[in-house]
Structure formats: structure tokens, C-alpha cells
Structure 1
Amino acid sequence: MESSSELKALALDALSHTLPTGIAVLDKSFRYISINSILAEFNGVAIEQHLGRTVAQVLPTLAETIMPLLEQVRDTGKALLNFSVPGDNSNNAEQSQWSGSYIPLFNNEQQFCGIAVVALNSTMDWFVQQTRKDDLDRLRKILDNMFTFVGILSPDGTLLDSNSPPLMLAGLTLDQVRNKKFWDCFWWQHDTESSKRIEKAVEDARAGIISRFDITAQMKDDVVIIDFMLAPVYDDNQQLSFLVPSGIEITSRKRSEQELQDSETRFRRVFDSTADGLVSIDSQGFITLANTRALQMFGYEAGQLTGQPIEILLPQRYQQHHPKLRQGFMLAPTTRPMGQHRELYAKRKDNSEFPVEIGLTYLEGDKKAAVLATITDVSAAKAAQQNLQGIIDEKTTLLAERTLLLNEVHHRVKNNLQIVSSLLSLRSRGATPELKQVLLESQLRVRTMALTHQLLYEKRDFSSVPLANYLRQLCQLVRQTLTNADFIHFDFAEMDEQIVLALEQAIPCGLLATEILTNSIKHAFPDHQKGKVTLALTQRENKITLEISDNGIGLPASIELGQGNSLGMQLIPAFISQLGAQIELSRYQGTLYSIHFSSARE
């Protein structure tokens, strides 16, 4: 076990190396027995160069000042405490100051045996203080040039200090707010709730709670939004020293966030109010967003589709091949319909299927949503289409039956008229010349009507008759019926092949042309002299003009339409009326009939 003297020596040695104080032990001849590094460093001499040497040898420039003091302590046996001694100029560039104490040491017999030197280097202490002051000034400059609000409060919330930005923006000086309660300062007086919230934050900080929240602060020209924090600061003994409020002005950021939030809200409203289902998909094929219509369409709740592969919405038969098709689309993305010329089906949550139409929109530069799929449920449209197709099929069948019936009707009417024509022909045999002529004309009229039904039957279009073709065949029919008419030449000068007439107009038009042609052949060329009959058919806008002329002797001036003994001349006005036409008669160089009427279709 160590002796008490050994323990004292160990303690002295430990203290000399631990305390921030210069310590040395001198023998009665003032030679250094031990010295710590702090005092040796200040003296400017290594520890080894101290040991065994006297103070006068180590510090020759201070010997005149120090030696009398050491001798006084040796001679009186009394300590000298806290005296000032200048440093050694030879070892330091500037004057140094000591604050030292010389304490006499006695042995057990109370005889003087040495001196303990305890030295505080006041020059070093000044340097430390100056360094701390420079650091504080540097910190103050940094804080004053930051756009951050920083202050120091006493534990009771009194403002002790503040950096420049919050003072400058509020048009204040530090003296106007120093020693005020923080919640009573100008920044919070625009709003009672703001002041109360700051006061509550001070109470929480005293209780060790750090507060952070957004709050409005009054500045000179505006009210700004501050990201505010208040934190307690403790000393080494965990005692509350002061409170530190800090803040960052975030008005622009908050406005941007609000504008972004408003934009997202508007987008979401439009997105969710769209009548079609909208589903966004990332580049890996996972669903990132689905609108309300899509959720309703597929039977899912909000959030259930997010993060799921898009194949979850496809029937089982499509799921195996769809990833390859999706990857191919991403290699060459375009905005286009999906599955052109094919019927597409989607699958609900309950595995039921329904027909859809899908449009794909590539969203360039958006990693979260690479593709937007627009999905339309076409179940109702498809059902309506099927119903319409059923109606069309039914109507087509009815139309075919009606066409067949009309075809048969026109065929039978034509046959019946031909029977009537044959009966008239039989009756004309053996008849007197006058009666035979009447019967032949009647037969011609019957055959004219039969020709109309024949054309309808052959054309298989019962709505109209091509007038130009009808007139050419009619001329041949008149030539055949009037057997002695070979001397007549028909000239079709200008015939518009596009003109067609409905059945209700074609028959009176044909009968009118028959009567005019018959009169021309019978009366314009006496003694069967050769002649020419010209037909022209034109249309201007919605008016049709039919001209029938001959180069015969001309119609006598005494004969007018609707007058005379000729039945044909009497029938012409009736056919004109049925046709809804106007007729002009010219007697110059033969006879010219100009007939003007509108198409029934117009």
C-alpha cells in the first residue's frame, strides 16, 4: 500500500498535468524539481531543461524581479499570493503577464525545504478571451448576413438579442425590442392568435419542448409567413440557460405550394369528373392513378388499384401476351387507339367482362405516369348496335319481300297490259278503218304504260325510271305500232342520261310523248314523205325541259291544244296537268313542243 507521502506526490503530479494552471516545485536553492507542460511552454523552455537548474538560470531576464520574491518567501516562511509578474520578453514577442503564487514547503520538522509555484498566465487568458470575442464577432457577421431570423431569449421569454434581418425587414432597431417579452414584440402584434401562439411556445420551451410551426409575422410593408422554431438551451449542469427562436421566411414557397395544391385540386376535379375511365400507368406497367369513373367501372374502392399491374383489368385470355405488347408500345410510344379493328374486353373485380374502347396517350417525361389510358364502356352502345342491326336485318328482309312483291306486281301489270294490247289488236282486225285507227292508238297508249312497268321490272328499282332510255324505247314502240312509219327518222340530239322520274310522273310523261309523236307521224308528213322527229332532254337546276320537234308541214293555226276532233289533242292538256308541267307550242318550220316541269324528287 502506498504511503500518504506517496499519495500526495501522485495527487500533485496528477493535478499538475490536469489543471489548466502552471505548476512547479523548487528546492530550497530555487532549483526546479518538477514543472508541468503549461508553465514550461509559457517559459519557452522544455521541461528537461528546467529540471536541476535554478530559476535564474532558466529565466535570466526575470531573475531581478523573481529572485527577491523567492528569497522573501524562504526567509519569512509566508506565501505570496496572486502577485503580477511580467513575462520573459526574450521568449515571447509581446509582453506577457503572470498572476502567480509562491507557497513555502516545510518538512515534518517544520523546516523550510522548498517552494510550490502556482502560476496563471494572464496573457494566455487574454488571448483565449480575445479569440472567443473574435469568434463571436465572426458568428454575428454570419448571422447578420443570413436571411434567417435568430434571437436569444431569457428563460422567461424576454428578448435579449436578435440578428439583423428580422429587425431590418420590420423597420426596427434592437433597442426597440430588447428587454420586451417576445410575444409582445412588433412582429406578432398584427394578430392576437399569433401572439398567443408565441407565448405558448415559450411556455413549452421552458418545459423542455421544442416547438416548430408556420406562423405569420408583421414586417414593415407586408405580412410574411415564417417557418418558426423555438428551442431551449442548457448549460453543462443541465440548467436552462436561454431560449433560441429561429425562423425562415417561406411566403413564396407557401404561395407556390398553395398554387400547386390548387392546380392539383383542379386537375383532380377534372380527372374525376370525366365521363370516361382514366388510368395512368408507369413505364413498368403498374397503375399509379385511377379516376372515380374507372373505379366505378371496374368495381374497386379508392386506392385498391394503385400499385397493381395493369393486367389485373384484363380477361385471363389476354394476360399472358399483354406484357409483351405493352413493352413494345413503350419502345415506340404514340398516342393512338388500342386494338384497332378488334373488339376489346375488360374484366371487373368480380371477373365479369364488358366491351370497351381504349385510347392510349403517351406522357413524355413523366416517370410516375408514362401512359394515360382512356377507357370507355361500350356495353350500352354495343347493345344498341346489336339492336339496330336486328332492326336493319328485319327491315332488309321486309324490303326484300316488298321488292319481290313489287317486282311481281309490275311484272303482272305489264303482262295484263300486254293482254289488253293483244285484245285491242285482235279487235282491230276486220274493223272499219276509222275504228281500226282508234284501236291502234288505244293499243299504243296501253303499250306505253306497259313499257313503264317493264322498265321498272328490268331495272329492279321501283322508285324511278331513267327518262332518256324510256323515251328512246318509246320512239321505237311508236314506230312498231304504226306499221307505216318507217319513213320517219328519230334524232336524239341532246339527252341527259342522269334525269329520272318517279312512277307517278313517268306514266303521264310517256303518254304525253306518245300523243305528240303519234300526231307528228300522222299529220306532219302527208303522203308518207320522209321526215325527222327530234327529241332533246335537258335539266337546268331543278327544271326539266323536254323538246319534241318535227320538220313536217307544221300544225295548222286553227288547231289548239285541247281542241279539235283528235282524241290525242284533247288528252295532251290532261297529261300536262298530271305532270305538273307547262307547254309551249311553236309552229315555225315544223312543229315544236317545249315541255317544262320539275322533278318529283325535288
Structure 2
Amino acid sequence: MNESNTLSLENEAGFKALFQYATVGILVVSSGGRIELSNPAVEKLFGYEKTELTGQLIELLVPEGFRHSHVHHREGYFKKPKARPMGYGLNLFARKKDGTQFPVEISLGHYQLDNESLAVAFVTDITERQRFNDELEAKVKERTLELTQSLEREKELNDMKSRFVAMASHEFRTPLSAILSSRTLAESYTKAEQEDKRKRHISRIRASVKNLTVILDEFLSLDKVEQGKVEIERETFDLYDFAEDLVEEVNGMLKNGQHIRFSYNGVRNITQDKKILRNIMLNLLSNAVKYSGEQQTVYLDIDADNDQKKVVIRVRDEGIGIPQEDQKNLFNKFYRAKNATNIQGTGLGLTIVKQYVELLNGDISFISEPNQGTTFTIEFSLNHPGHENDLINRGQ
């Protein structure tokens, strides 16, 4: 045996060993689309015996929905055969004997044997890789979402900080300036006949200090609510008397010619958190006064419905109203409508009101038209104790 024959036998033995023991599936297909050879890896991968594959059309291993198009692609390959991946950029699937479909990666090659064109397909099951890729993609999406949300929260916090600084610098400067100027003027009025002027500036100082206290109270209230430090303490009380006292308190804030029209209908005794309800109503009433002009009316209507077991409170004004484009942001922290920027306020009041209403398991809504006024409506459970309530239907 000469050296050439020895090399030929060695090459043939090497090919057979490679074909037999390769972990990737190998198929040899004729130009007519028939399977000529299959290695054990293919038989294991697809669940067929060797005798079941030999001579069969290669489309046997293709999902039924793709068989027709595969014939077209196969014929096209044999017209211009070259080594390349199959279906580049596409998701390829193969079909097992039991009908199961699974993702595959296929590389194609070709050679001539006795003037017959043959194609070699190297088939790899990429189910695990696909699962890993899917899991990786899901994790990337999850982390991207978390990062996006984190960036949005950071942006929101930065925006909120900017609004806070702008608001605080404005809202604190005004009363502090008033305090300083009034103090200087009050000290200059030393004569007895200047007593009235001195008292007027002392009153101005007190009002400014009260305004600062209100601003600080709003910050503290919001912080307590957001940290869950507000405890609900329900008690039974006369809602009509409670509302009358509030109206009397707000009367001290009225502008020239303003007045509050109060009407009440329903049962008098309710069980709720009196302190929280006071903060809600006082804020809404003082806002109605603040955003209304002189000679205008503020309306407070309360309906304590024993049949529906709920209380409905409406506070309506005839003031500047809220522009349509600002209404969606009205309960956001530090938000001021564009037509209210020259009116004193922190932009926290309605945020606190909404959270207080939610603590009462209630709802708050509003309707508003610019230059026609605004109506706020809050609803919450009557939660009465069950003893006799006096019915009242009166207005003033």
C-alpha cells in the first residue's frame, strides 16, 4: 500500500469518526432534497432511527407551516451553493418525530460526489441558548425599567427641590420683609399720639408670623402624612356645629364685601376624625376666599345622607378658576396654576387635602372654569354610631 492510499484511508477513517461522534447534528442531503446520511447526533436530536431518515425528504424535519417555502429555498441553494449560515437573521425552528418544535441554528456546506451535488447541514439545538437569551433580555428590560424609573424619580426630586427653593425663597421673603420693616417703623413711633401707627405695625408683624407658621405647618403636615405618622382618631361630633365654628373662623379672613353662604341638610352627628376634617375644610374654605375677589360669595354646602351613609361637602367660589391645562396637576406638590403665581401660597395645600381625604377613605373631585369659579367636592362615610340623630335642613 502506497503513501497516497494510506492517507486516503486515514482521511476516510477520520471523516467517519468525526461524523459518528460529533455532538452537532450532521445531515447530507441530495440535490433532490433526500436525506442521504445522518449522524447519531441528528437521530438523537429529532427522535428518529437511522432507517427512518435515510431517503426521506429533508422537509420531514421542517415544521409543517414552513415546508412549502423551504422547498423553494432548498432548490435555490443548490442552484448557487456556498458555505453559509441558513436563514441569516431569522429565527429557525425544526420538528421532532413527536411533532415538538425547537429553535435551531443551521450552517450549510456543499461538495460533489460522482457528479452529484450534495449539501451538508450542521444542526445545533439552541433551546438552552434561546432560554438564556430570553432570560437575559428579560433581566435587561427589568434593569432598564428600574433605571428609567430611578432616573425619573431623581428628575422628579430635582424638579421638586427646584420648585421648593423657588417657593420658599418667595414665600418666606415676603413675611420676613414685612416683619423687619414693621419692626423698624414701630420702633420709630415713640410718641403717645403715634400709638395707633405702632399698633398697626405690631398687628402686621403678628399676621406675618402667623403666615410663616401656616407655611411651616403645611411642610410638617405633608411630611407626617407621607411618612405614615398621621393616626386616625375617630370621634362622634355634631357636624353642623363644627361647620358653623369653621365658618366663623374663616369670616376673619374675608376680603371687603365677601361673605360665606352656608347650607346644611341631613343628620347632625357623625363619627370621623375631627382634626383631619377640620384641616380639609379650613384649607378649602381659605382657598376659596383667597382666590375670590371682593364682593364675591363663597358657598359651603353639606349633605349628611343617613340613607346612603355618606357625607358630601361642597365648597364653591366665584373666583379666578383654574385653567384647563393646569387642572391635571392641581394635586401635585408645589404646583401653582399659571393664573395664581402672584397670589401667596406654597402649592402644598391641595396635596395635603387630597391625602387627608384618602386617610378618611374618601374621595375628592373638582370642577372649574377660568374667571367663573371652582367647586371642590369631598365624600366620605357617615359612619354614624347608630343612636338617634336630629334631622336638620336649614341654611344661612
For the aligned pair, the TM-score class normalised by the smaller chain equals: 0.3 to 0.5
Q: What TM-score do you get using the length of structure 1 for normalisation? A: 0.27
Q: What TM-score do you get using the length of structure 2 for normalisation? A: 0.40
Structure with bigger gyration radius: 1
